[in-house]
Amino acid sequence: MGGVEVKILFLDCDGVLNSAVTMERVGRYLGLEAALVQRAQAMVAASGATVVLSSTWRLYPEMLAEVKRHFTVHDVTPDLGTSRGAEIAAWLEAHPEVERYVIVDDDRDMTPEQLPHCFFTDWYSGLTQKVADAVVAHLTA
């Protein structure tokens, strides 16, 4: 990409861009929480990262469209029917130009090699400012 460092942010939705607040409001996970989306948008802008959707939301056209209303989604990870970590590893293997990456997710099914690049959220809180700040620091160090 012409001398510009390639930084990827693998983004999950449930437990990151929505939370227990979503469940309390509508009775189930449905949609995205505006405050969490804004926090993630600021994180992406501050880090200069490109978003690759690793969430299961990538598999459903209406849910993918919802994410794309809020983010420029460069790509999605492949659906291998395996762990999220394996799907991210396959994407990274196909994109050797990536120099730096982070995974923001509430699931912990990542490979050992990915753990230093993982920033975990929880379903109750979603993306916190502390996690967002750590992601930006990791990508801009």
Place of tokens 């929880």: 122
Distance separating alpha carbons of residues 20 and 16, to the nearest angstrom: 10
Burial class of residue 21 in the structure, from the number of CB atoms within 10 Å of its CB (0-12 exposed, 13-18 middle, 19+ buried): middle
Superfamily classification of domain 7-140:
HAD superfamily/HAD-like (3.40.50.1000)
**141 compared with 27, residue with greater pLDDT:** 141
Confidence band of 135 (pLDDT split at 50, 70, 90): very high
Q: Taking the domains of the chain in order of start, what are their residue ranges?
A: 7-140
Q: Tell me: the pLDDT tens digits for 14-56?
A: 999 998 877 777 665 568 999 999 999 999 999 999 999 999 9
